[in-house]
Structure 1
């Protein structure tokens, strides 16, 4: 992904900022990182990630 930046936080976490073409493009990448990644904003992306994660869980129920 192009147009990205990283900001190391005092607690050791990293804020990752990136410009993408679609929310789906980044949502799939975020879900593939599992619990090691958390969306702070935008809310639309957070909701898409939640939806994808729920769909993944349904595959195993």
Structure 2
């Protein structure tokens, strides 16, 4: 069973980072960055995902 409380439903977007890609010697369109900062209220990343799982266990009993 998925013990996870979804705090948001939209997936986070990814954006190309051409300047960083070029600095790393990659094709400008080959490197994408996940934009958890666009989620809203609490940001994103591993702390928000951990909170989803922790709250899910609390509400599932």
From the two aligned structures, give the one with the greater strand fraction: 1
- TM-score, with normalisation over the residues of structure 1? 0.34
- Higher helix proportion, which one? 1
Q: TM-score, normalised by structure 2?
A: 0.34
Which has more radius of gyration? 2
